[in-house]
Amino acid sequence: MDHKKVAERVIKDVGRDNIIAGAHCATRLRLVLKDDSKVDQKALDNDPDVKGTFKTNGQYQVIIGPGDVNDVYDEFIKITGLKELSTDDLKKVAAEGKKKNPVMDFIKLLSDIFVPIIPALVAGGLLMALNNFLTSPGLFGSKSVVQMAPNIAGLSNMIQVMSAAPFIFMPILVGMSAAKRFGANQFLGAAIGMIMTTPNLGGATKFWDIFGLHVAQTNYQYQVIPVLVSVWVLSILEKRFHKWLPSAVDFTFTPLLSIMITGFLTFVIIGPVFKGISDAITNAIVWLYNTTGAFGMGVFGLTYSAIVTTGLHQSFPAVETQLLAAFAKNPASSGDFIFVTACMANVAQGAATFAVYFLTKNKKMKGLASSSGVSALLGITEPALFGVNLKYKFPFFCALIGSGVAAAFAGAMHVTAAALGSAGFLGFLSIYPKTIPMWIVSVAISFVVAFVLTYVYGKGHLKEEVASQDVPVNDATTQAEENQKAEKVSKEQLSLKDEVIASPVDGTPESLTKVNDQVFSAKLMGDGAAVIPSDGTIYSPVTGTVTIAYETKHAYGIKSDDGAEVLIHIGLDTVNLKGEHFESFVKQGQRVEKGDKLGTVDLDAVKKAGYDTTVMVVITNTANYANVQRITDASDKHGDKLIAVTAHN
């Protein structure tokens, strides 16, 4: 790569006078521009040295790749004369002159609280669906499975108990998560949830007589909003007492006073008021669903993906938990229709992306469309939305139509979900058993309508626009340079060998498509795997040479002796920490053996600072291999098999 020429092309394509500031991280240039509409997007898409672009948080990001991005940025600074900035400084520049949005801040707050507890609700909901499968008559005949096989009745009862627990004691889960978000002690937040759900409460008809004040012993099982407000009050009290009380008594009296005062306020004021508000919100949503029926679902399906592009969908888990809690308490209620709509919308966006795959001959776009299409069908649509469909526009709108038609059909058929889960092809696991057949039909409608509309419209009306992605590469790259590059790639391919890349850290392996960063989830940097770390020690996954060792210590690049170029990226946006909470033991150019320690990270401190600690392991020269595949049965230990790479014969 000619770093100077790449920098020149990027500057030309975004507009030299359009650049306000620039920084870089381990993989991409991050730019703040005056006007994003002035970017020559087509030229950047066709640039062979640019792996992709996207906009987020006021930044226009150009993906170059590990190692090369440093040199391109250096040339970028020389040419533009701009001041070098850290990514943290760039965030401040991007935020200048922008008013804070209280609605989005509130939605972000809800997202931070409810997203961590979703796994518990998914487990409970799926167990509930399994129990419904066992106990519902009419699925395999006039009798239920339990009636036909009485010997499994005990198992069914056990599953019912396990499925109900996360919803009955939801205030405890919400209390812990909310306390963490509000900056209070998590266990005090859990304690408030326990107080609100303890079996010793007599119910709304029982009262405590406190100095003549009759306080109802209401049990707040299944509730969400009352515990949120209570823990918010707890957080304020705890912080005040920490500030007011001397250190000698702080440890003892801050928890005591915080819990006692919050508990009293909860039963006297917070609980009764906000339980009424919570019930009213739930009833209003259910009424709206029951009243508008198929039409309402159709409108929701027609707008769902548009809502996703704004980020407003992050508030939906707060509503869905209420719907699922009501369903767990009374299966005759509506259940979670939001999840059903999400399934239709995600499948439609995936189908439209696959239609683009067949429309375009651009190899880069084909690769992005295929990987992001699969990701969308499995419930993660951001790569498909921002990487493909919104770039061409018409696939996005065709997908909206497909989603709207399918959601309307699902509403007419009363398809409902009993749990949260993967809102895509695997969503049937969360659907109420009796409605699974109609859910399958709805998903098929969503896929077919979105795919056909996108393909037909693109083929008949925008063929030239799609085909124009196949124009020759940027004029700055000569044919001779292209031939040299192709020859170099060919030689590299012949020198590669099959090998297995080990996990660099203890933790749970995951698909890259589940990473909350579209550069990695769309595999723009290459294929690989992710690991949710349980320990902060990072080990070398191969024997080879360290090619990248950033000063910020959040990423490493290693070229193995067999030719694999491995990027290990620790956390998302952790470059902003500037090395804080990280320690590195290696330098660029150093030889390492598989299993050698590369560095450490304080996972708790990084999480407390508000960063995702997921570790990404990416084979950045994926294009030179015949196949790069995550080993799906990988263990949780570092050094064990994680990724298999297969060389061309």
* Residues forming the active site: 25, 569
- Give the amino acid at 364: K
- Give the amino acid at 479: Q
Q: Facing residues of 499 across strands?
A: 645
With 0-12 / 13-18 / 19 or more C-beta atoms within 10 angstroms meaning exposed / middle / buried, residue 16 is exposed
Instruction: Write out 84-101 in H/E/C secondary structure.
Output: CCCHHHHHHHHHCCCCCC
With 0-12 / 13-18 / 19 or more C-beta atoms within 10 angstroms meaning exposed / middle / buried, residue 34 is exposed
Which helix (H) or strand (E) segment holds residue 387: the answer is none
CB atoms within 10 A of CB 205: 8
- Please report where in the chains the tokens 């053996």 appear, as a residue: 593
Of 625, 612, 516, 614, whose CA–CA distance to 562 is shortest?
625
CB atoms within 10 A of CB 181: 22
CB atoms within 10 A of CB 348: 38
Of 411, 405, 392, whose CA–CA distance to 450 is shortest?
405
Residues 291 and 147: their CA atoms lie apart, in Å, by 36
Instruction: Write out 452-473 in H/E/C secondary structure.
Output: HHHHHHHHHCCHHHHHHHHCCC
Q: Facing residues of 215 across strands?
A: 208
- In the three-class reduction of DSSP (H, G, I as helix; E, B as strand; rest coil), residue 525 is classed as coil
Instruction: Write out 90-139 in H/E/C secondary structure.
Output: HHHHHHCCCCCCHHHHHHHHHHHHHHHHHHHHHHHHHHHHHHHHHHCCCC
Residues 3 and 5: their CA atoms lie apart, in Å, by 6
Find all residues with CB under 8 Å of 464, minimum gap 6, and list them.
none
- From residue 350, alpha-carbon distances to 297, 364, 424, 510, 522 in Å are 20, 17, 9, 21, 13
For 34-43, which contacts have Cβ atoms below 8 Å and span 24 or more sequence positions? 36/60, 38/14, 39/13, 39/14, 39/15, 40/12, 40/13, 40/14, 40/15, 41/391, 42/468, 42/469, 42/471, 43/9, 43/12, 43/13, 43/474
